[in-house]
Structures are given as C-alpha cells and as structure tokens.
Amino acid sequence: MAHLSHTGPRLAVSAGIFRDGKILLVRRAREPAKGVYTFPGGRVEFGESLTEALTREIREETGLVIEIVGLVGYREALPARTGGHGHFVILPFAARWVANEVALNDELDDARWLSPSTAVDGLRVTQGLDETIRTAAAMMGL
C-alpha cells in the first residue's frame, strides 16, 4: 500500500505559535518552498492523531513545547504549486508557547518572533499565510 502515498494527498499539520503577543515564523531550508517563511509543522504519520503529529513535529523542528488551542482552517498545496513536490492538505492550528527556546533542525534555517499584524511584511511566505495568521491571532484574542 505504500506506493499509493505518492498518488494521493498527504496530510500535514502546522502551528501558529504565540508567545508574549508575537507569532513564530520559520524559513524552510529545503524544497518544497525553500527560502519561504511559514509555520513550523510537517506530515501526519499513519496511526498518529493530528495533535500528536503537531506536538512531535514542533518538538523535532523547533525544540519548543506547545499547548494547542484550536484549528484555524485548512490550506492546500497542489502539485502545480509545489513544483510537483506533492499534494498536501495542511491543517494549521493556533498554539501557545509553553517551554524551551527555539533550536532549529536542518529542515529550517531561520526563526523569527514577529508581531501578528506585520509578520508577513517584506517576507516571502506561503500562500494564504497572512489570512491564517489573522485567524489564529483572533482565536488567541489578539
């Protein structure tokens, strides 16, 4: 069955992590979307819940411990937009920073805590990130 994973959409999760009124954006160090700022996150593994996957991916990519607040919608990355790197359905969550400082793994090469209202200004970001940030900030009461 493993060969089917390349033909169907893959499920991914990401987190808009808030700390002291700022949101964390990270820059991807490899394709797809190399050099683009986005939320940290990654693929959901078979048998893993969405929240388990999110907690694991955030810990692996950034070293942070988070508290998940809620789902802020969905995004799709279609093959035409990922340069053929796959078809992903991405579920972004709003989350609160709980512990640790950012320690990036090799998938990421920059991290910035930014004001949600101006986070995307002057940065190359994933499609629709500004809207996702607004929705997440509203969920957090910001």
Residue 62 φ/ψ, nearest 5 degrees = -125, -15
The two tokens of residue 63 are: 């070293």
3-class secondary structure, 106: coil
All domains in the chain, ordered by first residue: 10-140 (3.90.79.10)
Q: What is the pLDDT of residues 111-131, one digit of tens each?
A: 999 999 999 999 999 989 999
The amino acid that residue 80 corresponds to is A
pTM of this structure: 0.91
5-32 per-position pLDDT tens digit: 457 899 999 999 999 999 999 999 998 7
CB crowding 51-70: b at 16 or more within 10 Å, else e: eebbbebbeebbebebebbe
